Structures are given as structure tokens and as C-alpha cells.
Structure 1
Amino acid sequence: MTAAASAPSYTGTPIPLSDTPSRLRRLRWAVADACTVAGRDLAHWRRRPGAVIANTLLFPIMIVLMFGYLLGGAMNVPGGGDYREFLLPGMFAMTMVFGIGTTMVAVSSDAARGITDRFRSMPMSASAVVAGRALADMLNSAVALAVLILCGLAIGWEPGRGLGASAAAVGLLLLLRFAFLWIGVYLGLVFHADPEAVTGIRTLEFPIGFLANPFIPIATMPAWLGVIAAWNPLSSTTSAVRELFGNPTGDDGSWIAEHAMLMAVVWPLALIAVFLPLSIHRYRHLGK
């Protein structure tokens, strides 16, 4: 008798080598399906550029100009520093959080109109639909972040610690967006049958964003409120990005603030570990 050739697996159980090509094919088709879904979403944005420009690009620019010029004169940064340099990294992070609503509305709309059910009836990977949505939204967020950075440079903000540190800061911002994106996907699938709930949940972007440190230093908040704001994942990313860009941080000296760089990685990874599997599970059991 001839023993069948096998290869070790990550679980310790041998995998027949004859199965490897089929697994690679399945992976290749899953990636192709995700790219197809992402292309569909991007095609919709090309046909409706007005909504993308207004919601994704103009709104954060308007907030930067309003806080930077209308309210910035009354703002003081603990430890000194220009308020606009303090503000811009916070706005970069805030824009990543505000993507929750965009993702949630798009996912819930597809599910409510039966488009998601059509995808589920097709011979395609279960993860490809949500992965395609994530890919499209990440591309959209990268463009929005680039536009906002250019806006910041135009009004006098500038990174002060070199290209490598700036690239790391952008990476942390996109990691935060990737984490919150899966929250949006999950909530969109859960509440797709209730448009009013989707609208209500979308308003939570504002307390999440404002109950943090993008606009106001935590050291200026009441102690009890400062603790809540400091442990907001948005605050950790904002503080880490300010440090990497070489901008004023205005931190309060708490443990979470002193370890902002670490927590800017831990928080998003924890959110991804929770909401990515939940999103795929919810998609597979949609309507049950």
C-alpha cells in the first residue's frame, strides 16, 4: 500500500496535497468575488459623485475650517502649541469614525432591497460580499483622508517628524477605519429591516466623536468625563497620530494617554476580532 502524500496544516492535522490546488482555487475565487463586489460599489459612487463629495469630502473640510478659524481663537492647548496643529490629527481620526454611518446605510440598503439575498443565492464565497464592501469603503476612506491632509497643508498644518512617522500615522488612521468599518457592516446587517433604527444609530457617531480628544484636550475636561474620553478608542488613535506627526498632544498624563501608541493598535485589533466574525456570521444567517 502506498501512503498518500500530505502536508502539515496549522491545526496539526495533515492536509492531502491533492486538496491544496482546490483550496487555492477557492481562495482565488473568493478574492475575485470580493473585488467584483467592490467594483460594483465603486461604480455606484461614480454614478452619484455629488453624494460622495458632500458627505465624504466637504463635511470634514467644513468642520476643519469652522473649528480652526471660527472657534480656534478661543482654544488653548495645555503645554502650548498651535490649535490648528492640535486639531488636524483629530479631524483625520474623526473622519475615520464617521465612516461607520456610510457603511451601515449602504449595507442595510442592499439587505433591505434584496440585493444581499441575491448575492447569497449565487455560488460565491460568503465572506466575499462583506469583504468587497470593506474594500470599497477603505478605498473611499483613503481618498477622503488624502483630501483632508491636503486641506490641512493648505491652511498651514504640517507634519514635523518625517515621512516614515507620517506613513505610520496614516497606517494607524486606516487601521481605525478598518475596525469601525466592521461595526458598520454588522449594524447594517442587524438593523436592515428598520430604517429608523439605522438613522438613530448613525447619530451615535457624534457622541463617539465628540466624547474624545479630537477637538478638546482631555486635561480640560471634568475628571469623570476625562476618564470616559481617555478610554475611547478614538482618543488613543488621535494621541498616537499627533505624536507621530509631531503636533501638540495636550495629553493629561494618564496611563492610557502615555501608552497611546500601543492602544492605537490594540483597540482596532480588538474591534476587528469581535465584529469581523460577527459580520460574516450575520451575513450567512441573514433572514433567519
Structure 2
Amino acid sequence: MTTLAMTVSDSLTITRRNLIKVKRVPDLLVFATLSPIMFVLLFRYVFGSAIPVPGGLSYAEFLLPGIFAQTVIFGSTITGASLAEDLQKGLIDRFRSLPMAPSAVLIGRTVSDLLLNVITIAVMMITGFAVGWRIHTSIGEAVLGVLLLLTFAYAMSWVMALVGLIVRTPEVVNNASFIVIFPITFIANTFVPIDNFPSVLKTFAEWNPVSAVVQGARELFGNVVPGAPAPNGWALQKPVLYVFIWVAVFLAIFVPLAVRTYRRSAGR
């Protein structure tokens, strides 16, 4: 019988195992941080001069919360690819032969990827300060902004965990997740204001949870124009609440689905 203490202990063991892998293969962390840095520099200096931001807000301050959101969402694909790789190499079958909680592999995987996202955000913040991004709110609000990003990323990791268990090959996981994540991060307020979007895309962007993550982060970091009119749509007027609703829905649906699929996949 699996107890809570056993699940926690086993999950911490798997988390430690995943982090040790990153230590031994530092390329994983290097390329995970180089990509967002490249996006920051490209959009800040190549596209920034051509993208007007209403209200006189600097493009760097408009951009960075969007880059944060895009990066942690793309980072969730590591969860699916890593699980698919472990399945492909037979490591999951070895885990099954041990007296451990079935959910520990998934919890350990998602928690370790969450910790990697913490490092990635820290690197991006340093890069952001170098290109002109600043935080204009209190420390508490800034911390809440980071937690908002990480919480949504953690929920997305469970979605990708299910994808990785179903697809079972890292290459296909990366291709499949790119097809979905790329459009939802670009049809949003991530890099440009959505006011000039075509009506259908604008409606989608207003209710896109990625837009709410970005809007919530901008407000909590103080990267909005003081006194500017409230955005259209309830989702962008209450972005933090809207994001946490999505997080609750994702976790309620995909955690049990992923655990059940893991038991079936590992038994094949």
C-alpha cells in the first residue's frame, strides 16, 4: 500500500535523480537558457524599433513578461520528452520493479523541471535588466509574478507528461508540442499588443490563457502604463484569477490521466 510519506520520499528521490542528470549533462541547461536569451536580444534590438507600444511604455518592459511566459511554457516540453526517453530506454520498467509509488516518477519529473524553470527565469531576468527591463512594484508583487509563471508552467508540464507517455518518442513529442505551443504563444499579447489583430484572432487572444499569464506578469512586475484603460475581456481584466482557474482545470484533468496512462504505458 502506497502511503503519502512513501510518495513524497520517492518523488524527492526521482527529483534528485533528474537534477543530477542535468549536472552531468550541462548542455541541457545551457541550451535551455540560451534560447530565451536569443529571443530577448532579437526582439529587443531587431524587432523592437518596429513594434509600437501604446502609452509610451518601453518595448523592453512590454516584452520581457511575454518572453518569460513563452520560455516556461516551452520548457514544459522537457517533461514530455524526458518521460518518452525514459520509456524508450526501458528505465520506467526498472522503476516498476522497485517498491516505489507509481506517481513518484511523474511528480519527480515535473518538480525537477519546475526547478529548472526557476533557473531559466533568473537568467532571463538578469538579461532583461541588461537590456532595460525593470520591476516597478514591490518585492512581494514581483515574487507573485514569478510564482504565477511557474504555477502555469507546472500545470503545463502535466499536460506534456501525458503527451510524452502517449507518444513515447522524444522527437515526436518535441514536434507535436511545437505545433500546439508555438501558435498559442504567438496568438497572444506575448510580443505585440492585440488591438490590431483581426477580430477572430483578437477574441482568441483575449481568452487565451497565455495572454492572461503575460498580462498578470506585466501587472505584477509593474510593466503597464499607469492609468491606462483596462483591457477588453474579463480574462485580461482579472488575469491572475483566470490563470489559476486554468491551472486548477489542468491539474484536475491531467494529473489523474497522466498517472493512469503511466501505469498502462509502463506495463506494455
TM-score normalised according to structure 1 size: 0.86
Q: Which amino acid aligns with 1:49?
A: P
Q: Does 1:50 align with 2:54?
A: no
Equivalent residue, structure 2, for 1:12: none
> For the Cα contact (< 8 Å) 1:218–1:229, is it kept in 2?
yes
Shift of 1:197: 3.1
- The one of 247, 261, 265 equivalent to 1:282 is 261
Q: Is the 8 A contact 1:80 1:248 kept in 2?
A: no
Q: Which amino acid aligns with 1:146?
A: A
Q: Is the 8 A contact 1:78 1:219 kept in 2?
A: no
8 Å Cα contact 2:76/2:113 also seen in 1: no
Count, aligned residues: 263
The residue number in structure 1 matching 2:132 is: 156
Alignment partner, residue 263 of structure 1:
242
- Spell out, residue by residue over 1:34-61, the C-alpha distance to the aligned partner (whole angstroms, 9 max, x if none): 111111111111111123211x101001
Give the Cα separation in 2 of the matches to 1:196 and 1:68.
31
Query: Could you list the per-position Cα deviations for residues 215-270 of structure 1 after superposition, in whole angstroms to 9, with x for gaps in the alignment?
Result: 01111211110111222211111101101111127874222221212112111121
1:75-224 to structure 2, matched below 5 A, reads: 75-192=51-168, 194=169, 197-204=172-179, 205-224=181-200
2:242 is equivalent to residue 242 of structure 1: no
The amino acid across from 2:194 in the alignment is I
**Gaps in structure 1 of 5+ consecutive residues:** 1-21
Of structures 1 and 2, the larger Rg is shown by 1
What are the Cα deviations for residues 86-125 of structure 1, in whole angstroms up to 9, with x where unaligned? 0001111111110122111111000111111111221100
Aligned AA (1:283) = Y
Go from structure 1 to structure 2 and tell me whether the alpha carbon gap of 1:246 and 1:219 turns closer, same or farther (over 3 Å shift).
same
CA contact (8 A) 2:63 2:190 kept: yes
- Does structure 2 conserve the Cα–Cα contact (< 8 Å) formed by 1:103 and 1:181? yes
* Preserved contact between residue 219 and residue 252 of structure 1 (Cα < 8 Å): no
Matched residues, percent identical?
Answer: 38
Equivalent in the alignment of 2:202: 226
In the TM superposition, structure 1's runs of 4+ consecutive aligned residues that sit over 6 Å from their partners are: none
Contact persistence 1:179–1:271 (CA under 8 A): yes
Q: Which residue of 1 aligns with 2:12?
A: 35
Read off the aligned partner of 2:152 and give its amino acid letter. L
5+ residue gaps, structure 2, are none
* C-alpha displacement of 1:79: 3.2
Q: Which amino acid aligns with 2:153?
A: R
CA contact (8 A) 2:80 2:170 kept: no
Amino acid paired to 2:117: S
Q: Name the CA distance, whole Å, in 1 between partners of 2:70 and 2:86.
A: 26
Structure 2 counterpart of 1:173, one-letter code: L
Instruction: Kindly indicate whether the alpha-carbon contact (under 8 Å) linking 2:44 and 2:131 is maintained by their aligned counterparts in 1.
Output: no
Contact 1:93 1:173 in 2 (8 A): yes
Deviations 1:184-231 (A, max 9, x none): 111101110x55532421322211211211101111211110111222
The answer to whether the Cα contact below 8 Å between 2:81 and 2:171 also exists between their aligned partners in 1 is no
Task: Please provide the CA RMSD for this pair.
Answer: 1.7
The separation in 1 between residues aligned to 2:206 and 2:236, in whole angstroms, is 7
| Counterpart pick for 2:37 among 61, 67, 70 | 61
Q: Secondary structure at the match of 1:29?
A: helix
Q: Partner of 1:122: helix, strand, or coil? A: coil
Aligned-partner Cα distance in 2 for 1:177–1:83: 24
CA distance in structure 1 between the aligned counterparts of 2:5 and 2:37, rounded to whole angstroms? 39
Change (3 A) 1:240 1:195: closer
